[in-house]
Amino acid sequence: MFGRQPVPKSQNVGFLLTPQFSLIAFTSAIEPLRAANRVSRQTLFTWQLFSIDGQPVRASNDVEFNPDAKFADEITCDILIVCAGIRSYDHINPKTSAVLRSLARKGMPLGSVCTGTVALAEAGLLNDYRCTIHWENIESLAERYPQLNITATLFEADRNRFTCSGGMAALDMMIHSIRLDYGRDLSMRVADQMLYTSIREPQDLQRMAIEQRTGITHPKLLGAIGYMEAYLESTITMKDLAKNVGLSLRQLERLFHDKLETTPARFYQNMRLDRARALLRQTAMPILEIAIATGFNSPSYFTKSYKSKFGYTPRQEREDS
């Protein structure tokens, strides 16, 4: 896969399913392989499923899968893809990292979909490689592994490492790989089978443009929201924000009131609280670190603001997730 030469007659792909993995990312990765076999009328791909302990594993939507085997360094496959999802940091452990490193030493190409990037990073297998992860987890990955070269692209294929942001992006990644190995004609036929009419390239961004996500079309308002998104950690003043988008503070406030029925300060704080909620749910970062990482220098003010918006404290959020 991913243009390795010579291309084997049949490639066996291993999938390590970690607890609460993203089912849509997993199926988006495995279904193009099935489709490639079907439309080519050849067995180009076979696959195996592994779990950390060899026991059944549940996806984040509670669908249970029975693996073919326990994940161990004696497994035999041509390529391994780690599939993860919610709270991926809770499911990394020294033994899994050791197996991943053992497979890497044997020369096995290693990849991931969704938050499976965390497992590769924890094993030290992404140093000096470009990598990506779901956009909700980019900040937490950068906080935990500051040495990584993390991008916000759909997927990255860097030598014998490949990482994918998750969701439907796994489909783009696998069609891209099929094209490299078996040519454009087969990849297009696979896409056609998937009813996939617009194949995205690796460098395409994960998130829709702000105007698509929000329905907002006012250029100054879009500029203000984009600037806020860029400064969720090192907070900015509303005066500096207004200056950056070419408005007076009063004009900025009127714009937010007219279009969004809120103040720019409240809108900005809600963005930072939404980011904090994602970090609480998806990472093991201490609550104080999350407060600082989202621009709250006062832990008590962070707790008060969080409870005001969501109805419970950050600690309760962490306990219930």
Query: How does pLDDT run across 56-112, given as a tens digit for each residue?
Result: 999 999 999 999 999 987 888 999 999 998 888 888 899 999 999 999 999 999 999
CA-wise closest residue to 125 among 139, 113, 140, 107: 107
Assess if CATH 3.40.50.880 describes domain 11-193: yes
Evaluate the omega torsion of the peptide bond into residue 6 and state whether it is cis, within 30 degrees of 0: yes
* d(C-alpha 179, C-alpha 129), whole Å: 22
- What local confidence, expressed as pLDDT, does residue 88 receive? 83
**What single-letter amino acid sits at 16?**
L
Q: What is the pLDDT of residue 36?
A: 95
The rounded mean pLDDT for the chain is 88
- pLDDT score of 212: 58
Contact 248, 242 (CB under 8 A): yes
Question: pLDDT value at position 204?
Answer: 65
pLDDT of residue 89: 81
pLDDT cut 70: percent of the chain above it:
92
What is the DSSP code (8-state) at residue 294?
Answer: T
Q: What CATH homologous superfamily does 210-320 map to?
A: Homeodomain-like (1.10.10.60)
pLDDT tens digit string along 149-172?
998 888 898 989 999 988 888 998
Q: Give 174-205 as a DSSP string.
A: HHHHHHHHH-HHHHHHHHHHTT---PPPTTSB
Between CA 287 and CA 315 the distance in angstroms is 7
Q: Determine the pLDDT at residue 103.
A: 94
pLDDT above 80 for 175? yes
Yes or no: say if 82 and 120 are a contact pair by the CB < 8 Å rule.
yes
Q: What is the DSSP letter of 21?
A: B
3-class secondary structure, 58: strand
Greatest Cα-to-Cα distance within the chain, rounded to the nearest angstrom: 67
Over residues 83-93, the pLDDT tens digits come to 998 888 888 89
Alpha helices in 210-248 (DSSP H): 210-214, 219-230, 238-244
Contact 314, 294 (CB under 8 A): no
Percent of the chain at pLDDT exceeding 90 = 53
DSSP secondary structure letters along 127-174: TTSEEE--GGGHHHHHHH-TTSEEE-BSEEEETTEEEE-STTHHHHHH
pLDDT score of 4 more than 70: no
- Per the structure block, which two tokens stand in for 172? 């783009």
Task: Using the predicted structure, report yes or no on whether residue 316 has a pLDDT greater than 70.
Answer: yes
pLDDT band at 264 (very low <50, low <70, confident <90, very high): very high
What's the N-to-C CA distance of the chain in angstroms? Answer: 37
As a 3-state breakdown, the chain gives helix, strand, coil percent values, each rounded to 5, of 50, 15, 35
User: What is the predicted pLDDT for the residue at 145?
Assistant: 87
74 CB contacts (<8 Å, ≥6 apart)?
Answer: none
pLDDT of residue 202: 65
Alpha-carbon gap, residue 190 to 40, rounded angstroms: 9
Dihedrals phi, psi of 85, to nearest 5 degrees = -165, -110
pLDDT in tens, 109-145: 999 999 999 999 999 999 999 999 988 888 788 878 8
- Domain residue spans in the chain? 11-193, 210-320
The answer to whether residue 211 scores a pLDDT higher than 70 is no
112's enclosing H/E stretch is: strand 110-113
